[in-house]
A and B are shown apart, each in its own frame.
Chain A
Amino acid sequence: GENVEQHPSTLSVQEGDSAVIKCTYSDSASNYFPWYKQELGKRPQLIIDIRSNVGEKKDQRIAVTLNKTAKHFSLHITETQPEDSAVYFCAASKMGYSTLTFGKGTMLLVSP
C-alpha cells in the first residue's frame, strides 16, 4: 500500500521566516495531495491541496510544489506568524480511492 514519509518532525522558526515541510510517497498511482493543519486540541483543517496535473499551487502565504518524478511534494509557508504554529500533515490518495494516507506530521513552532 501507499506509504507517506514526512520531514522534519519538528520545525522551529522565528516570526517572519519561511518554513518548508517535505513529504515523499511510494505509490506512483497517487495523484491527489492535500495538506491539513491541526492546532492544539482542534480538528484537522485542509489548508491547500494539489493534483498531479499541476506542479505548483499558491494561496497567499502558502504554496505547495509537486515533483511526480521524484515522488515528493512540499509545503512552503512564507512570512510565518505565531498563529501558524500547529501540526501539519501531508497526505496522498489515488484515483478511485477514498483512502487518505497521512504522513506522521510536522510540529511547526513560530516564535515571536
Chain B
Amino acid sequence: KAGVTQTPRYLIKTRGQQVTLSCSPISGHRSVSWYQQTPGQGLQFLFEYFSETQRNKGNFPGRFSGRQFSNSRSEMNVSTLELGDSALYLCASGLQGYQEKLFFGSGTQLSVL
C-alpha cells in the first residue's frame, strides 16, 4: 500500500506570491489533516477534511485555505505569502480522522524569500 504522498517536496517563493501544496492520502483513508511545522512552534494544526468537508480549523489567518476532492486528495493554498510562512507543511491521513493512528507524508518544505 502506498504511503501518504506530498508534492512538491521543496518550494521557494517570494513574498506576496501564492502557493498550492498537494497531498494524496493512503488508499481508503477519507480524512486528511494539515500541520505546519517550524523549529520554534513545533507542529500546529491548520485544518482537517473528511469526505470533502472541512471539519476543524486551527488558528491560522484566512490566507491559509484548503480543499478535498472526491478521491480524498487534498490541497492547501497559501495566498499573499509572508516570510513567516516559511515552514515544513505536513499532511496526515486517517480512516476516520478521530483519535486514531495518523500517517504523515514527508512534507513540503516552503521557503519564502
- Max chain B Cβ within 10 angstroms of own Cβ: one of A43, A46, A101, A104: A43
Q: Does A89 contact B (CB under 8 A)?
A: yes
Write the nearest CB–CB distance from A109 to chain B, whole angstroms.
17
Chain B residues, CB < 8 A from A103: 42
Contact B107 A104 (CB under 8 A): no
Contact B99 A101 (CB under 8 A): no
Write the nearest CB–CB distance from B36 to chain A, whole angstroms.
11
Q: Does B15 contact A (CB under 8 A)?
A: no
Known contacts A32-B99, A43-B104, A102 near B42 by CB under 8 Å: yes
Interface residues of A in 60-112 (CB under 8 A from B): 89, 91, 93, 95-105
Q: How many residues of B contact A (CB 8 A)?
A: 25
Interface residues of B in 34-84 (CB under 8 A from A): 35, 41-45, 48, 50, 55-56, 58-59
Interface residues of B in 1-46 (CB under 8 A from A): 4, 31, 33, 35, 41-45
Identify the closest chain B residue to A45 (Cβ). B104
Q: Which B residues contact A (CB, under 8 angstroms)?
A: 4, 31, 33, 35, 41-45, 48, 50, 55-56, 58-59, 90, 97-99, 101-102, 104-107
* Besides A43-B90, A102-B45, A104-B42, 11 other A-B contacts (C-beta < 8 A): A1-B59, A31-B99, A44-B43, A44-B104, A46-B101, A91-B43, A95-B99, A96-B98, A98-B48, A98-B56, A100-B102
Ordered nearest first, which 10 A-B pairs have the shortest CB separation?
A32-B99, A104-B42, A98-B97, A102-B43, A43-B104, A98-B48, A46-B101, A44-B104, A99-B56, A99-B45
A-B residue pairs in contact (CB < 8 Å), sample of 5: A44-B104, A49-B101, A98-B55, A99-B48, A103-B42
